[in-house]
Structure 1
Amino acid sequence: MFETQEAPTPKEDLLKHLRLMREAHLENPMPDLEKRKDRLRRLLEGFQEREEAFTQSISEDFGLRSTFETANYDITTTIGDLKHQLRNVARWMRPRKRSVPLYLLPGRARLLPQPLGVVGVISPWNFPLILSIAPVA
């Protein structure tokens, strides 16, 4: 009834893409708020432009999965998540005060949220978009 197909990716291709992503990160390791919002907006716009293609492709990959289920669980939730990130990224980037032990007074401490670098996301097969896009956005 169902057929599994592997799409092997040569190790060299993976290493090449990893190198390119690391180089891109090193060019701008601490993007400011406007850059981050721009990236999120472009991801959201590109996602919305391809919404129908994503829905159709995922439904075909699953064989019997309804387009409603794909649109409702994968597409709508991903769009909602990206919008949530756009609304909150400024707050998430703000430095936050932290308390210091008595013996370090009058010292002060702050938590400075910042990107740590390139990450790999391994997503389960059942909801491929929300489980792969949300963590990297």
Structure 2
Amino acid sequence: MARTRPAAPVLAASGETPVTALPGVGPAVAAKLQARGIGSLQDLWLHLPLRYEDRTRLSAIAALQPGAAAQVEGRVVAVERGFRYRPMLRVAVEDDSRGTLVLRFFHFRAAQVAQFAVGARLRCYGTPRPGQHGLEI
């Protein structure tokens, strides 16, 4: 005798549908969601985490402001390994805006150094701050 699998529930819902229509959301879970201001599916879809960081926008290096987190994309123009007081890797990145940003790494391995070959394109995210040679992350 062949076994048949029960059909999965189909939820054809709009944004105004209450969250209680979702499988597994009973009165207790609905009360917790309501305490956070989530009463409908649209509220749930648009709910963002507390410390959400928008990493979808690219910023020009020349337009970076110290203290404001940003994502940049550029080309590696210089790589320097320093061993003065502690090992440090500095990578200079330049983009089309002709701005230069220095990435500073304190904990790195040789394989990571090889990834930062001059001419390689990379995308990085962080909070720039003033350094010895301009802004750095």
TM-score bracket, normalised by the shorter chain, equals under 0.3
More helix by share: 1
Higher relative contact order (CA 8 A, sep 6+): 1
User: Computing the radius of gyration over CA atoms, which structure comes out larger, 1 or 2?
Assistant: 2
More strand by share: 2
TM-score of the superposed pair, with normalisation by structure 2: 0.25
TM-score of the superposed pair, with normalisation by structure 1: 0.25
